[in-house]
Chains A and B, each alone.
Chain A
Amino acid sequence: MDFTYHVEGGDFTNAGSTSSEVKRMLKKLGVSPDIVKRTVVALYEAEVNIVAHAYRGDINVDLEEDKIRIVLADEGPGIPNVEWAMQKGNSTASPKVREMGFGAGMGLPNIQNNSDELHIQTEVGKGTTIELVNYFNK
């Protein structure tokens, strides 16, 4: 099964609606609650990152028998230094994002901690693509 969702940058009202839908889907499929939680926490952080930092993006969710693969591709400023951004506490978030309870430099480390596989491709001035994979039977 393959689904694609669109996310608009700056749209904090709907931030998390894709994660919510994916959570419902995984629960319905009977995926174990621990794996559902890890997946949606990683996805939610990544979805909020698009809303917080990018102009727009697409989230593609590919559900296979043994795993879920999620690709979040955004058009945005990109990440100049991924290694720096992966360190807890480092953030370029705006005050608006901080008012929403994010932007403390925990998003990417949180995504990493809740994904079995994580790949980040980014180009400054163009955008970022994050691919995360979680396996159902570990």
Chain B
Amino acid sequence: MTSSGLRPTPVDGYPSPTSRLQIATEDILRAHVPTSGTPPVLNRNLHLQFLLRNLQQGFPERYTSQDASQPWLIFWTLQGFSTLGIGLDDRTKRRAIDTILAMQHPEGGFGGGPGQVAHLLPTYAAVCSLAIAGKPGPGGGWDEIDRAKMHAWFLSLKQPDGSFKVSSDGEVDVRGLYCLLVCATILNIMTATLLAGIPEVIASCQTYEGGFGSASFGEWAFGEDGQSPDYAAPRPTLGEAHGGYTFCATAAWALIQPYVRLYASSPSPNLSLAPPAVNMRSLARWYAAMQGGRAELGGLRGRTNKLVDGCYAWWVGGGAAVVAGMLKEMDEARSIVGECVAGDVDAKEGEGEEAKEEGWEDDDVDDSLFDRAALQEYVLCAGQHAAGGLRDKPPKHSDAYHTLYCLSGLSVAQHQVIPNTSRRIALRSSWDSAKARGREGSGMSLSDDQLSFSDGLRRESFVNALSWLEEEGTEIYVGGAVNRVNATHPLFNLTVTHTEAVMAHFYGQSLPIRRPTSRPRRKPPTA
């Protein structure tokens, strides 16, 4: 590393509060830049001890601030173990299931603790915790989720503009929307009634910077009554583009693609309107711009002109992985449409060999939008606390939240999990529509027309979610394979294995065997 590579962010001789804080932070981080010759090490055992202590002994008093986020404390811990490749014993699973189920609200959804009001965010954490610890059958946790009540509760939170409150009397934002879509996807309760208007809401939260803000203001276009909406009225974004909201909006946009496509191809009440669109170019640009320079060890920030923070390794790194996957999918769709109009999609398998000869860029198997090695350095060199657990940045302490999201960020920097065309084809061909319909959980009665729409939506939601697989041969391990953590599904932040198991259950499907796929590589990835 040359010293010029570590030059501070240029201030142009015009300092301001932002640049002063930035330079002071770079001065701290610079001391953590790895020296050549000593590869950074993931202190796996220390982090496992940290997680185990939290799980078994519990959290110290300062975590009282998380009392309304108890499913999150459990999810951060369980998924931390999954990421580090540690399975849970049966007793721990049992206790986790019982604890989570104690937080299920009698009217549907999960609260932040027993007796608390149901809320979309802890509902995501509860469902994902059960995906990790639960199983089918009595006492297994999965079948104790009241899906019909959850769906009815979701509908009770829906606003005239298509957005959702996070809880009764709660705020509206895209975090809630993301959490709802994850639950609806996993649990087979994605109905057209639930999804109506969501694409427009997501699109309206994209800011001029390319990333997404917290919510949009819908009152001018959709009053309280929701009658005769004025689609031309502005729906301004509340709050600037932000890593957490941008992740949620990006993943929500990916999860709702089957609905967007089906809706566009079916008779629509609003034919005069252009379908809602997210600007993927400006979104990709925004994600890339969030990576800090070498002096910040390539960490990720959450907003323009703010500081890097270990948790954005996941929110921004994971969101960038979703965009990279969607861009790849769009590329493939274009080339299939362009070159193989009436042909068999399968024939495209193995295609690309000739294309690789054409230019330098096809040698590159790495579709990511950011510097994966640099981000790993940030997590390993600045994100780890000497006493175990991971953190925002030095000299801060570690905590449960940063521990998971630093590890998840390390995971998206090591692995590429992206949509896989042959997997999509295999999932479609093994799809059992009758079983999936029989396992539908919302309990809504539908007309024949609606049935065929919802059959299509159900299949495509399932296929869309489970076609994301790790692209073998694209791993990069800074510090060597000894630092490897498990891959995580960027739409859910669960392992692909956990996602498959829980979705196979709720859709009544038996999954085709996964064959390892890989793209040939010319040179080994370097770190």
Asked if A pairs with B, the answer is: no
What is the interface of chain B, defined by CB distance below 8 A to chain A? none
